[in-house]
Amino acid sequence: MSMIDEAMLIAWVDGELDEVNRRRVERALADDPALAERAETHRRLRARLTDHFAPVGEEPVPDRFRTLLAESAAVVSMERPGRSRWRGWATGGAIAASLLLGLGLGRVSGGDGEPVGVRDGVMVAKGQLASVLDDQLAAAQDGAAVRIGLSFRRKGGGWCRSFEGEALAGVACREEQGWQVQQLVPGTGPETTYRQASSGDARVLATVDALREGPPADAAQEAAAREAGWR
């Protein structure tokens, strides 16, 4: 019988032994089929537990958690802009206010047809929404029907912009076909003068957070990106 106790055997299975003890266990395993069988049982147990719970770790994070974190990030950025990553856009305080408070809203569709359509199999912004995404700067949009929230570079390159109007809000990224809509949620509803941050805003913030690389553009970067055609 080998001198390997259960604690040492499972420590071997868990890869916790130093070199000397690891060799000792491996020599014992080679000499003792019963011990080797026991080690195999422990190894299978570990694999079974790991496999059983692995799918939870591979699922996309449910919206309830994204919303919770996005709302927290937004609140923190408003309360103490100096301490958060949102500093980049909080310095243009009006931008944050437009996204969270929904001030000065108008209609998206109105003579220009539908705001969203499908082109080459891709959902893209059309009409006035496309124009807003092309031309409107977040720093200069008093009274605009659709407001730009943030402009930011996405992971893997390219520009994206969040937008918000009465009928719809969301995020679009510049692709070959135009502004591909990444997310579309209900807008702010009929015009109001003051509105609390809604779950819709939180969803948009979560999408921005998931897509963006680095801080959102400041006014100068946004203007330069527009000059370059958002390429």
Partner 1 sequence: MSFESDLLAILPRLRRFAASLSQDRADGDDLCQAALEKALRARDQWQPGTRLDSWMYRIIRNVWIDEGRARQRAARTFAPEEAGADVGDAGDRGVEAHVMLSDVDRAMQALPPEQREAIALVLVEGLSYKEAAEVLGVPMGTLTSRLVRGRGALIAMLGEAA
Structure tokens at 139: 């720093």
| Residue 213 interacting with partner 1 (CB under 8 A) | no
DSSP string spanning 8-49?
Answer: HHHHHHTT---HHHHHHHHHHHHH-HHHHHHHHHHHHHHHHH
CB atoms within 10 A of CB 68: 12
Residue in 25, 39, 70, 169 binding partner 1, rule: CB under 8 A: 70
Side chain identity at 195, as an amino acid letter?
R
| Residue 53 interacting with partner 1 (CB under 8 A) | yes
| Residue 175 interacting with partner 1 (CB under 8 A) | no
Q: Mapping DSSP to helix (H, G, I), strand (E, B) and coil, where does residue 4 land?
A: coil
Q: Closest by alpha carbon to 105, among 187, 219, 184? A: 187
| Residue 39 interacting with partner 1 (CB under 8 A) | no
Q: Mapping DSSP to helix (H, G, I), strand (E, B) and coil, where does residue 204 land?
A: helix
Check: CB of residue 160 under 8 Å from CB of residue 181: no
Only one of the segments 41-49, 107-115, 167-175, 219-227 lies at the binding site for partner 1 (rule: CB under 8 A); that segment is 41-49
| Residue 69 interacting with partner 1 (CB under 8 A) | yes
Residue 107 and residue 203: Cα distance in Å, rounded?
21
| Residue 73 interacting with partner 1 (CB under 8 A) | yes
| Residue 45 interacting with partner 1 (CB under 8 A) | yes
Q: Interface mask (CB under 8 A) for partner 1, residues 149-168, using x and -?
A: --------------------
Residue in 23, 27, 31, 46 binding partner 1, rule: CB under 8 A: 46
Site for partner 1 in 15-34 (CB under 8 A): 16
The per-residue b/e assignment along 32-63, b for 16 or more CB within 10 angstroms, e otherwise, is: eeebeebbeeeeeeeeeeeeeeeeeeeeeeee
Q: Closest by alpha carbon to 203, among 103, 60, 86, 63? A: 63
Q: Which is nearer to partner 1, 72 or 131 (CB)?
A: 72
| Residue 56 interacting with partner 1 (CB under 8 A) | yes
| Residue 64 interacting with partner 1 (CB under 8 A) | yes
Residue in 62, 111, 121, 156 binding partner 1, rule: CB under 8 A: 62
Site for partner 1 in 78-97 (CB under 8 A): 84-86
| Residue 120 interacting with partner 1 (CB under 8 A) | no
Q: Which residues would be at the binding site for partner 1 (CB under 8 A)?
A: 6-7, 10-11, 14, 16, 41-42, 44-46, 48-50, 52-54, 56-59, 61-62, 64-66, 68-70, 72-73, 76, 84-86, 209-210
